[in-house]
Amino acid sequence: MRLIPLAAVGLLVLGGCATKGDVRALSQEMHWLRQHQDSVLTEIQRQNRLLLDSISTTMALTVDARGTTANQLRQFDRNVTQMGQLVSEVMGTLGRIEQRLAAIEQRGVSSAGPGPTSGGMTADQYYDAGMQKMSEGSFSTARLAFEQLVAEFPDHARAPDAQFQIGESFYRDRAYDDAYVSMERVAEAWATAPRAAAALFRAGVIAEEQRAFPRARRYFTQVRERYPESEEARQAQAKLRSLPGS
């Protein structure tokens, strides 16, 4: 139940220089930590209430009261100690994040701050960092790198690839609606990019996996109609023939 501070991971992914992405990552982490702290504390409190009820019942029934009650009291004491450790760790982590945010603000990083290349990382570096985190299973952290690439380099050749990976990261996190939206954006924002057909086809595959067959049929039809000369169009045609109800 111990929390592992995530701020260092996010900052390492996005580079050693403070950027607007740092602020966003840190702010998101603070929000996550507070939510996680609340949920864990609620669970511990619930366990403690159950233990107290159990202790009262055991004492009333006087069934092996001495041994059973002593064990439950020891568990209650461990929960209280664990709660104190949790609060101390979370507060320490939040304090370090707040100090980092204050330092960033003092260096003049704000929404009206330096231009898009102030982070000191190239589009390829953002993309490579994101793919590294994807391979490690750190999908939310990878997503921060891809989002930063799209925000800073929307016209770069890597931008549609990064947007595709944002959708893939949502899929890995089982946030399927967000995955659909992210894949659709590839075809909307970079309609002529090679990733556009691939993104719509991938959205169709995800919908098929979720047994959302009308949605899958719509995506595969879009691939076939918008990109008829692509390899994805050929695959989409095969998918359309095999979908239930076809």
Asked if 193 contacts 174 with a C-beta cutoff of 8 angstroms, the reply is: no
| Residue at a domain's end among 50, 78, 106 | 106
The count of other CB atoms within 10 Å of the CB of residue 28 is: 14
- Stretch 168-196: mean pLDDT, rounded? 97
Q: Quote the domain boundaries for residue 178.
A: 123-242
Question: What pLDDT, on the 0 to 100 scale, is given for residue 40?
Answer: 57
Give 95 or 229, the one with higher predicted confidence: 229
- Residue 118, in any domain of the structure: no
Residue 113 has pLDDT above 90, yes or no: no
CATH classification of the domain holding 236: 1.25.40.10
- The answer on 90 and 11 residing in a single domain is yes
Residue 186 has pLDDT above 50, yes or no: yes
Phi/psi of residue 133, each to 5°?
-70, -35
Helices 139-152 & 7-14 angle (0-180, nearest 10): 40
Give percent of the chain with pLDDT exceeding 90.
50
Residue 234 has pLDDT above 60, yes or no: yes
83-92, 98-107, 222-231, range with the lowest pLDDT: 98-107
Give 115 or 236, the one with higher predicted confidence: 236
Residue 183 has pLDDT above 70, yes or no: yes
CATH classification of the domain holding 78: 1.10.287
| Residue at a domain's end among 54, 80, 106 | 106
In angstroms, the CA 184 to CA 197 distance is 10
Closest CA to 188 of 213, 167, 172, 215: 167
Residue 198 has pLDDT above 60, yes or no: yes
- The answer on 153 and 54 residing in a single domain is no
| Residue at a domain's end among 55, 74, 106 | 106
Question: In the structure, what pLDDT confidence band is assigned to residue 245 with cuts at 50, 70 and 90?
Answer: confident
**Average per-residue pLDDT for the chain:** 76
In angstroms, the CA 19 to CA 120 distance is 9
Q: Which two tokens stand for residue 125?
A: 């570096």
Using DSSP's 3-state secondary structure scheme, residue 156 falls into coil
48-52, 157-161, 190-194, 241-245, range with the lowest pLDDT: 48-52
- Stretch 9-30: mean pLDDT, rounded? 50
| Counted domains in the chain | 2
CA 52, 53, 54: angle at the middle one, nearest 5?
Answer: 90
In angstroms, the CA 149 to CA 170 distance is 17
Q: What is the pTM of this model?
A: 0.55
- The answer on 144 and 95 residing in a single domain is no
